[in-house]
Chain A
């Protein structure tokens, strides 16, 4: 926002604070506070403790975090590869076929994720592709859910990319693969890392589809949080939620560092 006067800047900050704090910050703050308490009967919680965190970073909970991280990294990278590939293919197709592909990739976004979960469950529950009961079905469901975002983000970046770079590279004698590797992908890198971060974050928080199909030996953290709160252990659930948030944020910040180093223009 371009606000130049001092008063105007303060007003802008005030509006931002009024909108942002209750809407976004407060719920997160409540969770953080709840994760450090044992009772919450009045207006404020009581009985400060760090015990929940001790529980949240040990044993089963730690395993769930590890499962979530592995799933999100795996599904995120796979989605990035598939989405980028599809976006590159779509860009080289005619405009009509590209529109078909665009529509196809909107589907997993438009369809409720519960439905996607159910669809994946039904599709992979009988041979020849029997994945039900294994961890791979979670990977598949997450990949299906987040590839669309990778596709859309890379596709948008590709339409903004000046074709002159690739043409110039080709006329200097570079084959299509070389052009892709040395020119197109490096120029797309900021969008690729943004897409990777988005896919990772979405997968870390995915619950509704996962609920439908996770096997007992592959329980991601959101499912664990849901189970805890469902049992009534609100404070333990809060601690787990904070851990989930912190882990996601750490990875996103790391990805953002790659992005800033890759900004050329």
Chain B
């Protein structure tokens, strides 16, 4: 550890606003990243995730609000005084330096006390080892593939052992196998540096759900939702969050009696906890995760329709049916006999697996995705 850091380095955004000329890229962000916490930032492209990281690193000055790191107001501090390690989306590896010099840069750049050569070499070796790039130390960045460059960028940020780690889509250029390997490395690293908070921007839900203690969902420069992955996944607050954290069937329903809703002509029973106070006749959206839906008629909630598409996804089949004029998708364990499009099919789900959300408004943006 670079000593002297008190226990509990956290990051606090205090009504941070960033405007580039006319466009507001970050709108009064209020968010605390606790010491040692891994916070995943999720959100569509252009929602302000990178901008939020840049205010912490000091690359952009907020037009309003303050940024705190470890109980210190750093809003007016230059980047070099912030002790922040960052991996940027473009990697920004120094093209005129070999991989080893890129990784050593932060160690050599530190002013007194000068680090002995041997220690620098050891640290560089260790960082390259962690990212699996030991064999490439003598190469120039232009001689590396995109994924290799990305791993060097991670190594460079890790080598200085910063008080805060900001990772902007650090694994986006890696293949699935490397990615899960690096993810495990990052998780191990996080265990070794238990007091270092990490902010992790990603489009990949698996990364977010695997690594993160909490997930913040951003939408159009604003913080939309904040919670543990489980909270956001099981009981999202709105349709945007539901569709962004995991895939979701979002069905327009009308409230009937307490605990039941009508989906077209079908009556459905929903868990009590999911509803919130609802009066009969109110429009709501019902969120059901595809993998919570089973084939057949089982329990009180049965949706009947015609099969529109079946996709084989290796371990699962995704079955889509059209019921009450809406598409409903189910992820079921690999089937031996696959239903054909046009066939009649029934799907069912347990009341506890349905969450009742505010009605989807047109402006709610993000389409459901996988």
Contacts and interface: CB of A to CB of B under 8 A. Distances in A.
Nearest to A187: B96
A178 B111 CA distance: 10
Nearest to B58: A171
B59 interface: yes
A67 B279 CA distance: 96
B96 A170 contact: no
A171 B86 contact: yes
A264 B140 contact: yes
Given A171-B86, A172-B85, A175-B109, 14 more contacts: A165-B94, A167-B59, A167-B79, A171-B59, A171-B85, A172-B106, A173-B110, A173-B160, A174-B105, A176-B80, A178-B109, A182-B109, A183-B94, A264-B140
A168 interface: yes
Nearest to B157: A172
Listed from nearest, the 3 A-B pairs whose CB atoms lie closest are A172-B106, A174-B109, A170-B79
A164 B88 contact: yes
Nearest to A265: B95
B310 interface: no
Given A173-B83, A173-B109, A175-B111, A168 B92 contact: yes
Nearest to B95: A264
Given A162-B90, A164-B90, A264-B140, A170 B110 contact: no
Interface string B198-229: 00000000000000000000000000000000
Interface residues of A, number: 20
A162 B110 CA distance: 23
A164 B92 contact: yes
Interface in A142-197: 162, 164-165, 167-176, 178, 182-183, 186-187
Contacts, number: 70
Interface size class of B (residues with CB under 8 A): 20 to 34
Contacts of B110: 173
A172 B105 contact: yes
12 contacts: A162-B90, A168-B94, A171-B85, A172-B106, A172-B156, A175-B80, A175-B109, A176-B78, A187-B94, A187-B96, A265-B95, A265-B142
Interface majority SS on B: helix, strand, loop or mixed? loop
A167 B92 contact: yes
Nearest to B110: A173
Given A164-B88, A168-B86, A264-B142, A173 B106 contact: yes
Nearest to B89: A164
Contacts of B267: none
Contacts of A167: 57, 59, 79, 88, 92
Contacts of B58: 170-171
Interface majority SS on A: helix, strand, loop or mixed? helix
Interface in B101-128: 105-106, 109-111
B84 interface: yes
Interface string A81-119: 000000000000000000000000000000000000000
A169 B82 contact: no
A169 B109 contact: yes
Nearest to B86: A171
Nearest to A183: B94
A187 B94 CA distance: 9
Given A171-B85, A172-B160, A162 B80 contact: no
Contacts of B109: 169, 172-175, 178, 182
A174 B95 contact: no
Interface string B138-153: 0010100000000000
Contacts of A170: 58, 78-80
A182 to B, nearest CB: 7
Interface string B64-92: 00000000000000111011111010101
Contacts of A182: 105, 109
B96 A174 contact: no
Contacts of A264: 95-96, 140, 142
